[in-house]
Structure 1
Amino acid sequence: MTDATLWTPPGMGDEDKISFLAFREGIPNAANELIRVWLLQALPANRSYSRPEYAQAAFLKFQSAMGQDFGFRRGNFDYYYDEEVIILLSRLDQTNLAYFIDYVLAHTKLSEFLYKHLESILLEARSSWKVGTQGDSRRLMVRVPAAVSEIVESITDKSGAASTLLRKAWNKAFGTDAEPGAAYSAAVKSVEVYTGEIFCPSNRIATLGTAIRDFQAKPSKWAFTLGSADSSNLDQLLGMMKLLWHNQNDRHGSTNYQDVSTEEAQAAVLLATTLVGWFDNGLVYRVEE
């Protein structure tokens, strides 16, 4: 995954550029100093003095929210100086540093400049995290290719139940506070908003499984604009719906119960986004009443 706008050292061949521009998991160590400088600008502080006084509460509340002891302590005053902040930040590994940044984003109202500046740091460091929007807050989210991101935004920015559910699915699958089970469930429900109406309109409580059953019973009732009428396009559409439905292993308690992994949830959300996009644009429709 590369971005043509990113800088590369001169003299690199194409293969070297691809390797150099590949996004790194989490926050690369090389970006630590820039991240710390950004946090010194973003953290709540009293800046009316020559030395800013950084609120201890941000660190102590994060430590409490994480349920881990990072050695953040309340001193004689309710603030830290910048050199103390840098020492405290150095105690966080790359994963917890990302969580701390996300905590600051979620709980602090920042200027648009600071949001863009953080995204610029993460992008130039080829971090797998990016600054995204979740509800009314800016949050860290897993970076996806720009073309995919634009399509997702065009779908989730719409009003309606499907867009709301799909937006929730993306936040729970690609955010720092990932909940894979909730993400997968919301992805399925976003598709069900359409499949019930398209494949079994007389059934007001139709699940995706019900729609698959009715669709499979007589596929000639429906058409899909991608591919010719005599092609296997309907079979492939049905296969995608089955793939989404049958791999939600945490839907019911059984001997085969299995928690949904983050990777499975992300795959399901990407698949649901494609299906919702097709259904929302009327590309799958009934041809026989």
Structure 2
Amino acid sequence: MNDNWRPLGLDSDTTAYDALHDGVPDWMAESFWDWMRTQFLLSQRSEEYPGALDYFLDQDLVRQVERRCRVAIPYRGYSAEIGMSEIRSSTEAAQAQLRVADFLLATRSTEHAGNSLDVVLEESGSKWRVGERSGSRGLVRRVRDSVQTAVDNAISSGGHAGDRLALAWTATYGIDPNPSLAYSLAVKAVEDAAIPVVSPNDTSATLGKINSQIRDTGDWSLPFQREDEYAPAGSTLLSMMKMLWAGQADRHGGHHDPDLFVTQEAAEVAVMTAATLVQWFTSGAVMRR
């Protein structure tokens, strides 16, 4: 497949074509539901036509989807066509198509089926792709491959901090994002990575306390051979950590200001910042002069 192909007439401006789309747009719907059909239907050898297969609805799965995805699907029969039509109508009315697909990915689908759905999502320009969340296959927001690789490296090599970072990534880019939880986990991931380096004798230190220690000693750095005199590496490191700490708007309980909440955009910045800091601390890049 030629990934560089663009529709005739858009050669000079592909911005609209390359934009990512949420939900299940019209041009993706039939391919998407063809995939859903492979998950909901069971087959058996046809008694009427030797060598052929008869398909019927997996009612046990339908009821499980109802309970776990909170989508009412009133059909109780086994007809493949009627059943799939009812499932489609019910999930589209609840705007739960991706939620159901995410559940099927995590609990039912094979690697081949996951790859098949991923092709549909990618070719349709979906903002979602098939990835991994908390150890299970599922839908995650699409980011640039280079960014995903960098975060994956920080997660895989970060030990306990990497585990927290993975949870923060899921809470940020998963199908049901939780920005407040994501930001909190991002802060904890940095604490997990920084405490053994900065404050090994105080395992209960918070990011605020770690920031104070780095500020007071004033001799932390990164392995650069040259630095800008107005932005030395140690100051930049501390600025990033202080930014992460101060930006957690809902860190303290008891406030009643409706403006103090963590937005999705803030959570995304926090998790990306945390990924960089976790990698720096766990790889030994952060050191005292």
TM range (shorter): 0.7 to 0.9
Change (3 A) 1:229 1:263: closer
CA drift at 1:105: 1.0
Q: Is the 8 A contact 2:180 2:267 kept in 1?
A: yes
What pairs up with 1:132-143 in 2 under 5 angstroms? 132-143=131-142
1:170 matched residue in structure 2 = 169
Q: Is the 8 A contact 2:57 2:83 kept in 1?
A: no
In structure 2, C-alpha distance between the alignment counterparts of 1:193 and 1:270, rounded to whole Å: 16
State the SS of the aligned residue for 2:126.
coil
Q: Which runs of 5+ in 1 are unaligned?
A: none
Q: In structure 2, which of residues 17, 21, 39 is the aligned counterpart of residue 20 of structure 1?
A: 17
Mapped pair 1:91 → 2:93:
no
State the SS of the aligned residue for 1:27.
coil
CA drift at 1:60: 2.8
- Give the TM-score taking structure 1 as reference length: 0.86
Q: Is the 8 A contact 2:41 2:55 kept in 1?
A: no
- Give the TM-score taking structure 2 as reference length: 0.86
Q: Which runs of 5+ in 2 are unaligned?
A: 47-52
- Which amino acid in the other structure matches residue 246 of structure 2? H
RMSD: 2.3
Quote the sequence identity (%): 28
In structure 2, C-alpha distance between the alignment counterparts of 1:262 and 1:80, rounded to whole Å: 42
Change (3 A) 1:164 1:48: farther
Mapped pair 1:8 → 2:6:
yes
Mapped pair 1:45 → 2:42:
yes
In structure 2, C-alpha distance between the alignment counterparts of 1:156 and 1:44, rounded to whole Å: 37
What pairs up with 1:53-132 in 2 under 5 angstroms? 53-69=56-72, 72-75=73-76, 77=77, 79-93=78-92, 95-108=95-108, 110-132=109-131
Count of aligned positions = 277
Change (3 A) 1:263 1:275: same
In structure 1, C-alpha distance between the alignment counterparts of 2:95 and 2:239, rounded to whole Å: 37
Change (3 A) 1:74 1:92: closer
- Which amino acid in the other structure matches residue 242 of structure 2? K
Higher mean C-alpha displacement, 59-68 vs 143-152: 59-68
Q: Deviations over 1:12-66 (max 9, x none)?
A: 334x223211211233221000000011112252344433112123333323334
Mapped pair 1:235 → 2:235:
yes
Change (3 A) 1:230 1:200: farther
In structure 1, C-alpha distance between the alignment counterparts of 2:137 and 2:99, rounded to whole Å: 13
Q: Is the 8 A contact 1:56 1:74 kept in 2?
A: no
2:50 matched residue in structure 1 = none
CA drift at 1:97: 0.7
Q: Is the 8 A contact 2:134 2:167 kept in 1?
A: no
